[in-house]
Amino acid sequence: MSTEESPVEHEDRWILNLRGMSVTKISVDFRLVLALDSDWEVALEAPVNLSQGTVHAAPSVLLKPESQDVAGALALFGANVLSAVAFKSGTLRLVFDTRHHLTCSSDPSFEAWQVTGPTGWRFASLPGGALAVWSGSGVSKS
């Protein structure tokens, strides 16, 4: 994947340009942070659903960054991103080649997650369910 590709906006979502990037580092403080190739970072502050396989094959695990209850996320180390979507409703969905699906919904009171990239791109779930997007040229609210 070329790191020069820009995210693509659709009516209800942004397709992020993370396909093929691997999780190179996982860190935890009050957030769960996934560092990806090419200096992209996914920071999760709200509870996150992590599932594997199809929706009905296995129950999801709830990861809670604020209490460091995120051991299930270790399965993502070294995984490659197949799909990364930031919905304008404030939800983030990542799909990995390990068949894991990570979903973080918006929070009514704070920014639930953000994705940042090396060229000025930043996506953030705003309190109450909207999406803010920054590029090298400014910010917009979706």
Q: What is the pLDDT of residues 4-43, one digit of tens each?
A: 578 999 999 999 999 999 999 999 999 999 999 989 999 9
Q: Has residue 3 been placed in a domain?
A: no
Q: How far apart are the first and last CA of the chain?
A: 26
Task: Please report which confidence band the pLDDT of residue 135 belongs to, taking 50, 70 and 90 as the band edges.
Answer: confident
2 domain-assigned: no
pLDDT of residue 1: 39
pLDDT number for residue 141: 55
**Cα 76 to Cα 81: distance, rounded to the nearest angstrom:** 10
Q: Considering the domain boundaries, does residue 79 fall inside one?
A: yes
At 138, is the pLDDT very low, low, confident or very high (cuts 50, 70, 90)? low
Structure token pair of residue 57: 């094959």
Angle at 89 between CA 72 and CA 62, to 5 degrees: 15
Is 78 inside a domain boundary?
A: yes
Higher pLDDT, 88 or 137: 88
pLDDT digits (tens, 9 = 90+) for 35-91: 999 899 999 999 999 999 865 566 789 999 999 999 999 999 999 999 999 999 999
pLDDT in tens, 106-128: 999 999 999 999 888 999 999 99
> Is residue 1 assigned to a domain?
no
| 129 found inside a domain | yes
* Cα–Cα distance, 50 to 29 (Å, whole number): 18
Find all residues with CB under 8 Å of 39, minimum gap 6, and list them. Answer: 117, 118
Please check whether residue 133 lies inside any domain of the structure: yes
Range of the domain at 16: 8-141
pLDDT at 57: 60
**pTM for this entry:** 0.90
- What domain count does the chain have? 1
Residue 105, in any domain of the structure: yes
